[in-house]
Each structure stands twice: as structure tokens, then as C-alpha cells.
Amino acid sequence: MENSGLIVENLAQLWKSCVLAVLIWAIGTNIALASVHTYSDSNSVLFRSLSKLQDDRDRAWQVVFYKRFPLGQSDTIHVRLVGFPGLVKLDHDRPLEIEANRSLLSAKDVTPSDFSIAYVGEYDFKPVLNQLDTDTKLTLILPLDSGEARLKIPQETALEWWRVASWQPGNR
């Protein structure tokens, strides 16, 4: 009888250890946190996916993929990259490159020229989408003043991007 109590106690301790190990592993891995939201004002409607990802040098980036419907104009699909101030400086003279399976695509830098924040860049992603499939693995090659950085896009995030890209005002 005493042994069965000890066995139950050891199993409970093993269970707690397993749960703790999974939590530590999950916190330590590169988990993509993302959210999708709709915004509107008197001039446009915007639907966006926001992710926080890390590049190949473990630097944090905020990645905003959005589709905007300005009143009376055609829609735009952009990706905005926001790095950590002082750690990165984007080279706005070069496009964002997208590695998609075995292809190398590029997205034009459309950051306004009067926008002077060096760690923020915005790129026209609409032409790139026409060349991708929904199951394509994506890696963004960020043009930095000091070379480049690679940012792998998790499959869940890429699927969110497809959801945003296919969205039309009035849809939920």
C-alpha cells in the first residue's frame, strides 16, 4: 500500500516535470505571435496581420502585412518591417527580396522618401503574391546597410497573409 502511494506521487511529479519542460521549450523557441485586425476611417479600410519575428541573428522585427482600400482607388498590399532602433538600418535603395521555394522575387521599396526612420521600411507585396502559392515557404531577405538579414515566415503567418490578401471590405 505504501508503494502505490509512492508510485502515484512519482507519477504526479513526472507529469509536472513534463509540463514544465514543454513550457520552457515553448518559451525558448521562436514562436510567431500574430494578430489580424480591421481598421477603417473616413478615407480607407485597412485589414492587417501583425507578427513579431526574429531574423537569423536573433534580432526582433515587427512585420505588418496589410491590405488597404483607399476610397476611389485600387487596393494596395504592403509589408512593413520595423526593426529595433539602433540595431538595424534598412537600405532603401534596394528592394526586399523574397525567397519562395527555389525562386528569388523582389518587392519594391515604397517607403516615403520624407520618412526618416532608418529601421522602418515598407514594400509593395501585391506583384509578388501573383507568383506565389498558398503553401510556398517564404524567407524575407532584408536589405540592410550592413548587408542583409534573413527572416523566415512561419507557415501560420503566411496563411494569415493569404487571408489578408484575399479579404474584401464587408467580409469578416
Predicted confidence (pLDDT) per residue in 66-108, tens digit: 999 887 788 899 999 999 999 999 999 999 999 998 899 999 9
CA distance 97 to 95: 6
Q: Which of 133, 79, 76 is nearest to 107 (CA)?
A: 79
**Residue 17 pLDDT grade (very low, low, confident, very high; cuts 50, 70, 90):** very low
**Residue 21, CA distances (Å) to 11, 17, 28, 111 in order:** 15, 6, 11, 43
Average model confidence (pLDDT) across the chain: 82
pTM value surpassing 0.85: no
Count of other CB atoms within 10 angstroms of residue 65: 25
Res 124 pLDDT > 90: yes
| CATH 2.60.40 applies to domain 33-166 | yes
Which residue matches cell numbers 522602418? 120
Where do the domains of the chain lie?
Answer: 1-30, 33-166
Res 14 pLDDT > 70: no
